[in-house]
Amino acid sequence: MRRKLVAGNWKMNLDLASGRSLATALAKDVGSTTAVEVMVCPPFPYLSAIHEILSNSSVRLGAQNCYFEAPGAFTGEIAATMLTDVGCDAVILGHSERRHILGETDEIIRKKITTALAAGLDVVLCVGELKEERLENQTEIVLKRQMSGALDGQDVALLLKHLVVAYEPVWAIGTGLTATPDQAESVHIYLRNWLSMYYNPDLANKVRILYGGSVKPDNARELLGQPNVDGALVGGASLKFEQFQPIVQAARDLTAT
């Protein structure tokens, strides 16, 4: 049984004061419960402060990116070991905003994953097609390229322990458009089959596949209720406790049934 994971990707949003109040409210709501995993991924400068707030709860702390080199002369970059040092146990890699706005290639993402896994971080690998690609029936081809581009040559034992995949159709991110539960489920099945064939059925069964793209309180239950949707990566709706908490609650309710 895969435990559901609801992760909030704050992106480049919130200030320290609002981040602190959001984390405080979440830590209180989640407490030490673990039936559903809850994670927040704040901007780098706030990680230490948020870590302190979360440390008495089971809410996990993730980062939104890291660099693939070991610490050294790389002005402006952040090493994976620096993330564990400030209390992160996970990192989002390959987010579509980094692929399409910051120009990250599959090769860069692959190297970042290797470094993050070596640092002991869980990796939330984001994959997803553009709107034109979906319209041209290219979704599976794009996902296959992104998955093999990112995962080729990685240590299978580390992937088994630390990999989470997030399917985030680019056309659904921040647009208010959401994949239907059926669309999400069928892509998740494709990704799980791909993991099974490229690696093995055990890894495919264990790896959690999250859905991301305009997840909101009113669509969370249906999306999270799909058998192969193991959680959500939430952007906009993770910035307000009143919106994020009901998504976490939907995962809890589904877990309890």
235 to 7, 28, 174, 203, 225: CA distances (angstroms): 9, 21, 7, 27, 19
Q: Is 188 a catalytic residue?
A: no
The stretch among 15-23, 67-75, 110-118, 209-217 that binds ligand PGA (CB under 6 A) is: 209-217
Measured from the CB of residue 69, what is the shortest distance to ligand PGA in angstroms?
25
Answer for the pair 220, 246: CB distance below 8 angstroms, yes or no.
yes
74 to 90, 97, 121, 218: CA distances (angstroms): 21, 21, 21, 43
Of positions 65, 214, 219, 226, contacts ligand PGA by CB under 6 A: 214
Residue with CB nearest ligand PGA?
A: 235
Residue 212 within binding range of ligand PGA, rule CB under 6 A: yes
Residue 128 within binding range of ligand PGA, rule CB under 6 A: no
List of residues 6+ apart from 161 with CB closer than 8 A = none
16 to 21, 148, 165: CA distances (angstroms): 9, 37, 29
Of positions 9, 139, 228, 243, contacts ligand PGA by CB under 6 A: 9
Measured from the CB of residue 173, what is the shortest distance to ligand PGA in angstroms?
4
Residue 174 within binding range of ligand PGA, rule CB under 6 A: yes
Residue 169 within binding range of ligand PGA, rule CB under 6 A: no
Q: What is the DSSP letter of 126?
A: E
Residue 42 within binding range of ligand PGA, rule CB under 6 A: no
Residue 233 within binding range of ligand PGA, rule CB under 6 A: yes
Nearest in space to 9 (alpha carbons), one of 48, 57, 54, 60: 60
Q: Is 95 a catalytic residue?
A: yes
214 to 3, 141, 167, 252: CA distances (angstroms): 22, 23, 12, 19
Of positions 236, 244, 247, 248, contacts ligand PGA by CB under 6 A: 236
Residue 177 within binding range of ligand PGA, rule CB under 6 A: no
Contact footprint for ligand PGA (CB under 6 A):
9, 168, 173-174, 212-215, 233-237
- As annotated, the active-site residues are 95, 168
